Amino acid sequence: MFRCRWFQTILLLGFLSLFVAGSVTEAQDHSLSVSQGVLANPGEELVCLYLVVSSVDSVAGFEALLEYNPELLTLTGVTATRRFQLFGYHLFSPDRVNIVARRHAADSVYLGPLAPGLDTLACIYVSVSSQDLLLDVETPVEFLEDAGTPDPDNILVAPDSSFIGVPDLGLTHGSVFIRYPLYGDVNDDGIPHTIADAVFFLNFLAGRQTFTPRQRANSDVTRDGVQASMADIIRLVAIITED
């Protein structure tokens, strides 16, 4: 009886391991993903989200269509992190960008395909709205398959010019995590509305000090969306003297 149960257990574990391994392999065969939870501050510029490929086969190019909230994020550019003979992006609308890349193009020096495995393809730069969001906000940057287009919007291109699209291509969405500022904590020491904050702010206005993205976000004491302004230093001094 003991041997029978032991044998059944081995068979069950073997079946489960095959099922899990098969599922993982299938999910990771070909995928595109965007950085998740990238930390940013209101008003911050040049926040980078990486576009990453994972493939068991060589890759000669890709296309991606991404959608985001234009009230919170503004696309400022897309830069290739690997060499491509053809690389570009197009804004279809303020909330949507299409990225296209090929390792080789007509009348150009041939580049071999990217090797199988994990590789970073591009850096997608966005700037963050400076408006007061009242709390921490995580805003998505998502792959989009547009029903109004005849061809797949997100693909990997093989060396023979064939392509892999959804559902064989896995897509992992990204996001930007916008941290709520500690308004009035201009020197970013964790204590807002102090004389040290006012001195730091004045040194910045005089050109003797620079702000980090976090300090700049904290400097919007009036919370009007305009950071590091004269109105902010006047309000900061008023709060300090009132205290």
Per-residue pLDDT of the chain (243 residues; tens, 9 = 90+): 444 454 454 444 444 344 333 333 345 599 999 999 999 999 999 999 999 999 999 999 999 999 999 999 999 999 999 999 999 999 989 999 999 999 987 677 788 999 999 999 999 999 999 999 999 999 999 999 998 888 899 999 999 999 999 999 999 999 999 999 999 999 999 999 999 999 999 999 999 999 999 999 999 999 999 999 999 999 999 999 986
Contact indicator for 30, 169 with CB cutoff of 8 Å = yes
Q: What is the pTM of this model?
A: 0.85
Q: Count of residues for the chain?
A: 243
Q: Domain of 120: which CATH number?
A: 2.60.40.680
Q: CA-to-CA distance for 187 and 3, rounded, in angstroms?
A: 70
Q: Report how far residue 188's alpha carbon sits from residue 123's, in angstroms, rounded to the nearest whole number.
A: 28
Domain extent for 167:
28-178
Strand, helix or coil for residue 147 = coil
Instruction: Identify whether 44 is part of a domain.
Output: yes
Q: How far apart are CA 153 and CA 204, in angstroms?
A: 46
Residue 74 resides in a domain: yes
Q: Is residue 121 part of a domain?
A: yes
- 107 shares its domain with 165: yes
Amino acid identity of 158? A
Residue 65 Cα distances to 27, 56, 58, angstroms: 20, 22, 21
* Number of structural domains in the chain: 2
Residues 166, 201 within the same domain = no
Q: Identify whether the C-beta of residue 103 lies closer than 8 Å to the C-beta of residue 61.
A: yes
Residue 34 lies in a domain: yes
Based on the domain organization, do 199 and 173 belong to the same domain?
Answer: no
Q: Are residues 99 and 159 in the same domain?
A: yes
**Which is nearest to 200 in space by CA: 216, 222, 223, 213?**
216
One domain, residues 121 and 207: no
